[in-house]
């Protein structure tokens, strides 16, 4: 399987994730965009692990999946706490610390 098209795909996935982070106001939407970026990284790890027949690449992709799960759990707990305290899920309205 050729490497360059898949590399372009992961670049596109990463750039779309950055676009989502820059444009979304809803905190859950931000989390969705972060998942896209993490998937782009995992895809790169697996792709180059296959190219160079390296075992640790797959192990690190596994760690990415595990850390993404942790990140989603903590992020969603924070969003739920925010929605209870500040009565909003919009990231730009969470300004409790603004002086």
Partner 1 sequence: MLLASALLALLILTGAVWVVTLRNLFRAALSLGLVLLGVAGLFLLLEAEFLAFAQILVYVGAVLTLIIFAVMLTAKLQGSAAPASRQQIPAAAVSVGLFAALASATQPLVWPAAGSSAAVSLVALGQQLVTTLVLPFEVISLVFVAAAVGAIALAASGQSEDRQH
Binding mask 6-35 for partner 1 (x = CB under 8 A): xxxx-xxxxxxxxxx-xxxxx-xx-xxx-x
Find the shortest distance in angstroms from Cβ 99 to partner 1: 22
Q: How many CB atoms lie within 10 A of CB 17?
A: 20
Which residues from 36-65 bind partner 1, rule CB under 8 A?
Answer: 36, 39, 42-43, 46-47, 49-59, 61-63, 65
Rounded Cα–Cα distance for residues 54 and 61 (Å): 12
**Least Å distance between CB 91 and partner 1?**
10
What is the C-alpha separation between 40 and 58, in angstroms, rounded? Answer: 14
Nearest distance from residue 68's CB to partner 1, in Å?
A: 7
Q: Is 2 in the site for partner 1 (CB under 8 A)?
A: yes
Note whether 98 binds partner 1 by CB under 8 A. Answer: no
**DSSP-derived secondary structure for 30-88:** HHHHHHHHHHHHHHHHHHHHHHTT-HHHHHHHHHHHHHHHHHHHHHHHHHHHHHHHTS-
Q: Is 96 in the site for partner 1 (CB under 8 A)?
A: no
Q: Is 67 in the site for partner 1 (CB under 8 A)?
A: yes
């Amino acid at each position: 399987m050729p490497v360059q098209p898949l590399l372009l795909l992961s670049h596109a996935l990463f750039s779309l994730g950055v676009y989502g982070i820059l444009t979304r106001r809803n905190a859950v939407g931000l989390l969705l965009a972060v998942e896209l970026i993490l998937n782009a990284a995992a895809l790169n790890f697996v792709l180059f692990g296959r190219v160079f027949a390296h075992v640790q690449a797959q192990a690190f992709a596994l760690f990415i999946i595990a850390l993404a799960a942790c990140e989603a759990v903590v992020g969603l707990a924070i969003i739920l706490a925010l929605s209870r305290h500040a009565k909003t899920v919009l990231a730009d309205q969470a300004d409790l610390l603004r002086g």
